[in-house]
Amino acid sequence: MHEEVNPQKARTGLSRVWHALGYSIHGLQAAWYEKAFRQEAIFAVILLPSAFWIGQTWVEIALLIGGVLLVMIVELLNTGIESAIDRIGPEWHALAKRAKDMGSAAVLMSLLFCLGIWIAAIRALVMP
């Protein structure tokens, strides 16, 4: 008989959802120890409420909030990539560097996207 390595694979229904929620919370707790994620979370505490003041319509508010959340999501994925690479081994490898660089580039692109949305929204507010 084949035994599952991961007990989550055998769960179904609400039990699977409940346990997945727990794993997600553990992931957010682990991310808090990453300096970049903490900085982005602090900015989010400021920017998310500001989106309701700056945004003129629900679409603008959603874009402002979505841009901030996108940065945090991409940072979580980047940290996951870095952790997986570090788990494999500490030695330098061209593919490990490439994976980490691409994750970092994804964070940069999400930051530029977010910045562009916020600049456009503020500019529309200041210069109607």
Q: Which residue has the tokens 């602090």?
A: 42
This prediction has a pTM of 0.86
Structure token digits, residue 77: 């994925």
| Residue 75 known to be catalytic | yes
Note the pLDDT tens digit of each residue in 65-118. Answer: 999 999 999 999 999 999 999 999 889 999 999 999 999 999 999 999 999 999
Catalytic residue from among 34, 75, 82, 91? 75
Q: What is the pLDDT of residues 51-63, one digit of tens each?
A: 999 999 999 999 9
User: Can you give the CATH number for the domain in which 53 is found?
Assistant: 1.10.287.3610
Q: Is the pLDDT of residue 1 over 70?
A: no
Give just the sign of the alpha carbon dihedral 122, 116, 100, 76.
positive
> Are residues 26 and 38 located together in one domain of the fold?
no
Amino acid 12: pLDDT: 80
Q: Say yes or no: 116 and 79 in one domain.
A: yes
